[in-house]
Amino acid sequence: MIDARSRVGQLVLAVLGVLAILAIPSARAKPAKGAADREILVMLRLPPDHYRPNAAYGGSYGAGLTASIRRRVAVRIARRNRLELVGNGWPMPLLGLDCYVMRVPDGTSVAAAIDRVSLDPAVSWSQPMQVYQTQGGGGTATDPLFATQPDATLWHLANLHRIATGRGVTVAVIDSKVDIAHPDLKGQVVASENFVAGHPSGPERHGTGIAGVIAARAGNGVGIVGVAPAARLMALRACWQTGPGAAPTLCDTLSLARAMLFAIDHHADIINLSLAGPDDRLLEKLIGIALDRRVAVVAAFDPKLAGGGFPASMRGVVAVVNQDMASIPAGVYGAPGRDVPTTQPGGKWFLVNGSSYAAAHVSGLLALVRQRHGADARAMLVAAGATGGAIDACATLLGAASPCGCACTPAEVASAGR
Amino acid sequence: MRPARAVAPARPPRSPRPAARRVATGLAAALLFPSLAEPAAAQLAGSIGVQNTYRLRGYSISGGHPVATLDLYYDHPSGIYLNASGLGELGHDANPEFLGYIVNIGYARRVGRQLSLDGGVVRTQFSHYAAGRSAGAHYTEIYAGLAGRGLSAHLHYSPDYYRRGASTLYGEIDGALKPAENWQLSAHVGLLGYLDYPGAPTIRYRPRSVQYDWRIGAARQFGAVSLHADVSGGGPGAASPYRASAYRYARHQGTALTVGANWVF
């Protein structure tokens, strides 16, 4: 009799479970259109992982339980600060923080909401969800493939490849979605991840173009040659194309931070950020960790933004602009960024322009330098000016003391490279 | 010439307040006034759960009957944490029965960006109902371990594992991974060894000197609610149903399925 009752109890529990699955909406509600403008990031302290005696066999559930507890704390913070919690948290043991997205209700200014929630004793800090824009003018559908790459003449690319091709170096391309099936990129991508929520997409122009400039395959009979054709890419989608043609490609703090963390965790040697936007505390911390770990971080310089925009403005980040710019600011490096043929989605090639692609050139060059000189590549860029200017790629790769500089003949390059 | 000034603004001297005292005050406040005590990023939460059975280290505590659990968790910014769990059986003789409680205090500290060390004391007490004897059953353990990147390993020492003078070492490894948003898979293995057992080898019913247990499970989170299903087991099986432990329902060992739901508040 008791056994029968027990089985009935188990059956009731199972039925309740199924009903709960059907009845409880998922916590990850799809954001309303335009709602991202009113989203902020709220950072909570992330307690160290520790033992929970009832977690293994009890109803509570180990790491999942810990996440539930932290989310419950976030719910309370949102409630008492009149915010709406969006989705689950994102724990970052690397920073000792747990990041939550919260939405500011209409009628309250985002800045005021950030000020208010930052004063909450349970909050480490809060910041706006920033928007970043890639720094490349897109090619159009009518642009023909231009056979001559600027770096072939300006940087003597063939000569550089006699010395190094980027073998053994991994470059993280934090950008829009890369077409990893493109014939010039096939086999070059070791990781392809999507960190963008709510903007599903196939391969996108900007990310595919950046990847091609850095590491398009050499000697495969089609398309272009990347600056570092033997380097391997992490294609980390943190940005999304907002429309066809010249529509901008955008990213936000959270997607960029997630991609940054992935790149750091998976030991990228170089991180390419062909984008610019406002200062950002979370991204600054993550880039700081990357720099501490001797990861080279390359960013596009946007002359329209104060200091060239973030992250180019951050100390330690290699800021790069199209070298055709009339006057290159001190501390900024110039690289080819005009009429650059590169890969585009669907197995195509187009001409592109912009500092995004200049930054990609430098990421590729640093991959060559890393192969030749190791992890101290950041300090080794050689340029026209003492603190920046147009990069002398040959001198950078060979070292400033090379007697031939960029006038190297193939024989001299080979000799200097030995 | 202007006189030099102190850079820092003058403030009244603060009364010295040792860190230990601040921690103790915070913990006491948290326990006595939970709604008021969430200062300086302390984290307090609780959960209520139901499941078809309650198993510990390969044995059923509830004899295969449904169980309700109440858990409280407190994490202080200093690294000190508290956990308390109460267990009640729901499905026996139509009367709820108190099974026991587990309380724990520990200290955790991050020692690397992905690694933390922790240690503490846990007291497990089962009621006379659960133990099948008037005195109930209990043990105290001290433990230390490592956790990080979804893996943890802990070593426990008990000087009185269900019996005065019965000392044990228990090692366990837990792993968890998130295959998709809101989903979690987990696994656990544990090994218990008796260092000493009073009366051995003359005592008739003594437990096996080495026992193991394991569990694999999956959980799905729906906001504050999570559903979970586990398969767990242990061994080696005992020749007598009551040999292996002090539980009334020790015969309910072996492989079993546990399903349940939890609500975190």
Same-domain check for residues A294 and A256: yes
Dig out the tokens for B98 from the structure. Answer: 């108190």
Same-domain check for residues A279 and A383: yes
In a domain, A99, yes or no: yes
Please give, one letter per residue, the 3-state secondary structure of chain B. Answer: CCCCCCCCCCCCCCCCCCHHHHHHHHHHHHHHCCCCCCCCCCEEEEEEEEECCCEECCEECCCCCCEEEEEEEEECCCCEEEEEEEEEECCCCCCCEEEEEEEEEEEEEECCCCCEEEEEEEEEEECHHHHCCCCCEEEEEEEEEEEECCEEEEEEEECCCCCCCCEEEEEEEEEEECCCCCEEEEEEEEEEEEEECCCCCCCCCCCCCEEEEEEEEEEEEECCEEEEEEEEEEECCCCCCCCCCCCCCCCCECCEEEEEEEEEC
Residues from chain A contacting residue B116 (CB–CB below 8 Å): 48-50
Q: How confident is the model at residue A277 (pLDDT cuts 50, 70, 90)?
A: very high
Contacting residues for A33 by C-beta, under 8 A, at least 6 apart: none
Is the CB of residue A304 less than 8 Å away from at least one CB of chain B? Answer: no
Residues from chain B contacting residue A65 (CB–CB below 8 Å): 47, 226, 262, 264
In a domain, A19, yes or no: no
Kindly report the number of other CB atoms within 10 A of residue B238's CB atom: 17
- Closest to A73 (Cβ–Cβ): which among B45, B49, B90? B45
In a domain, A250, yes or no: yes
- The answer to whether the complex's ipTM is over 0.85 is no
Our CA-based measurement puts residue B195 at a distance from the nearest CA of chain A, in whole angstroms, of 22
Is the CB of residue B6 less than 8 Å away from at least one CB of chain A? Answer: no
Same-domain check for residues A274 and A399: yes
* B216 contacts B186 by C-beta, under 8 angstroms: yes
Q: Which residues of A are catalytic?
A: 175, 206, 356
Q: Domain count for chain A, please give it.
A: 2
Is the CB of residue A64 less than 8 Å away from at least one CB of chain B? Answer: yes
Same-domain check for residues A318 and A259: yes
Residues from chain A contacting residue B142 (CB–CB below 8 Å): none
With a cut of 70, list the residues of chain B below it in pLDDT.
Answer: 1-41, 92-94, 131-135, 200-207, 237-253
pLDDT in tens, B34-77: 443 444 467 788 889 999 888 888 777 787 788 899 999 888 88
Say if the Cβ atoms of B41 and A122 lie within 8 Å.
Answer: yes
Give me the residue label for tokens 């991609």.
A259
Residue at a domain's end among A91, A113, A129 = A129
In a domain, A16, yes or no: no
pLDDT in tens, A340-391: 999 999 998 888 999 999 999 999 999 999 998 877 655 578 877 777 888 8
Identify the sign of the CA torsion A329, A335, A339, A344: negative
Q: Is CATH 3.40.50.720 what the domain over B41-264 is classified as, yes or no?
A: no
- Closest to B225 (Cβ–Cβ): which among A24, A58, A67? A24
Same-domain check for residues A47 and A140: no
Q: How confident is the model at residue A218 (pLDDT cuts 50, 70, 90)?
A: confident
Say if the Cβ atoms of B113 and A94 lie within 8 Å.
Answer: yes
Same-domain check for residues A189 and A64: no
Same-domain check for residues A251 and A149: yes
CA distance B180 to A22: 18
In a domain, A110, yes or no: yes
For B64, nearest residue in chain A (alpha carbons): A6
- Closest to A49 (Cβ–Cβ): which among B90, B148, B230? B148
The CATH number assigned to the domain holding A144 equals 3.40.50.200
pLDDT at residue B34, rounded to an integer? 43
Say if the Cβ atoms of A54 and B264 lie within 8 Å.
Answer: no
In this structure, the strands spanning A388-391 and A383-385 are antiparallel
Domain coordinates in residue numbering, chain B = 41-264
Residue at a domain's end among A96, A129, A162 = A129
Is the CB of residue B38 less than 8 Å away from at least one CB of chain A? Answer: yes
Same-domain check for residues A98 and A160: no
B 190-209 residues with CB < 8 A to A: 190
Same-domain check for residues A237 and A375: yes
Residue at a domain's end among A129, A147, A177 = A129
C-alpha distances in Å from residue B72, one per residue of A74, A123, B57: 17, 21, 21
In a domain, A5, yes or no: no
In a domain, A262, yes or no: yes
Quick one: which of B118, B120, B192, B130 has its CA closest to B161?
B192
Same-domain check for residues A43 and A171: no
The CATH number assigned to the domain holding A80 equals 3.30.70
C-alpha distances in Å from residue A233, one per residue of A211, A290, B4: 7, 17, 58
Q: Taking the model in full, what pTM does it have?
A: 0.68
Say if the Cβ atoms of A75 and B114 lie within 8 Å.
Answer: no
**Is the pLDDT at A408 greater than 70, yes or no?**
no
pLDDT at residue B33, rounded to an integer? 39
In a domain, A9, yes or no: no
Collapsed DSSP state (helix, strand, coil) of residue A53? coil
Print the domain residue range for A48.
Answer: 28-129
